[in-house]
Amino acid sequence: QSALTQTASVSGSPGQSITISCTGTSGDIGTYKFVSWYQQHPGKAPKLKIYDVSSRPSGVSNRFSGSKSGNTASLTISGLQAEDEADYYCSSYTTSGTWVFGGGTKLTVL
Amino acid sequence: QITLKESGPTLVKPTQTLTLTCTFSGFSLDTGGVGVGWIRQPPGKALEWLALIYWDDDKRYSPSLKSRLTITKDTSKNQVVLIMTNMDPVDTGTYYCTRSLTQDPPEYWGQGTLVTVSS
């Protein structure tokens, strides 16, 4: 299985919205609703922000939202805040019964 | 409160075998649907999913690393062990232990342990 494809970097100003895309195949994103997104600050373990394409774990701000179309999933962060600056990773369950991650997207809040 | 903690060597030599232990609390690997797995991250690079073991001893491995990995559990000790053979410098990175439920992504992560492969 190959890693999911993410844009290397994205930036936005405080208050704006940004979208990060994640492209997979019919062997992962295209088949399952089990797409998730993680936020990782430097030196920290990743934190789950979205699961099952668009669900948020308890305590995660509703500024984070997810969607999927075909083999591509997207994470949108609205009302950007300085604390949102981090690396973001998508992940998907696969037809092999395993998981695969994306290459990561670095979000810069200008 | 669910916690996981990784332990093992910080430095291994090329060709050696790495053994990492995940000790967890706040849940049982006897409970239906529960899984404990491993994910790694080379310095400055992306996350890579490695392996997962479920409550019923179902084991899943990354296809690209399957020949080098073994995952086992000791329910009585609340521990999961990952063995990776034939270590190479490219295997250097932070190794995380995680907990998940069937077909759910890992929600709980350990702090990670940095493993360096160098002679």
A51 contacts in chain B (CB < 8 Å): 104-105, 107
Average pLDDT for residues A79-104, to the nearest whole number? 96
Q: How confident is the model at residue A106 (pLDDT cuts 50, 70, 90)?
A: very high
pLDDT value at position A2?
A: 82
Written as six digits, the tokens of A94 are: 């696969």
Is the pLDDT at A31 greater than 80? The verdict is yes
Is the pLDDT at A1 greater than 80? The verdict is no
A15 touches chain B (CB under 8 A): no
CA dist., res. A86 & res. B98, Å (int): 20
A110 touches chain B (CB under 8 A): no
Reported as a single tens digit per residue, the pLDDT across A56-73 is 999 999 999 999 999 999
Residues of chain B with pLDDT below 70 are: none
Terminal CA-to-CA distance of chain A, rounded, Å?
Answer: 35
Is the pLDDT at A52 greater than 80? The verdict is yes
A43 touches chain B (CB under 8 A): no
CB A89 within 8 A of CB A38: yes
The nearest CA of chain A is from the CA of B13 a distance in Å of 24
Q: Provide the mean pLDDT of chain A.
A: 96
Q: How confident is the model at residue A43 (pLDDT cuts 50, 70, 90)?
A: very high
Question: Quick check: A34 and B109 CB within 8 A?
Answer: no
A38 touches chain B (CB under 8 A): yes
% residues pLDDT > 90 (chain A): 96
User: Within 13 Å, how many C-alpha atoms sit on residue B82's CB side?
Assistant: 31
pLDDT value at position B103?
A: 83
Question: Quick check: B47 and A101 CB within 8 A?
Answer: yes
CA dist., res. B35 & res. B73, Å (int): 10
CA dist., res. B85 & res. B79, Å (int): 20
Contacts of B75 (CB under 8 A, 6+ apart): B28, B29, B30
In order of A14, A17, A82, B21, B62, the CA distances from A62 in angstroms are 16, 13, 16, 36, 33
CA dist., res. A46 & res. B66, Å (int): 24
A3 touches chain B (CB under 8 A): yes
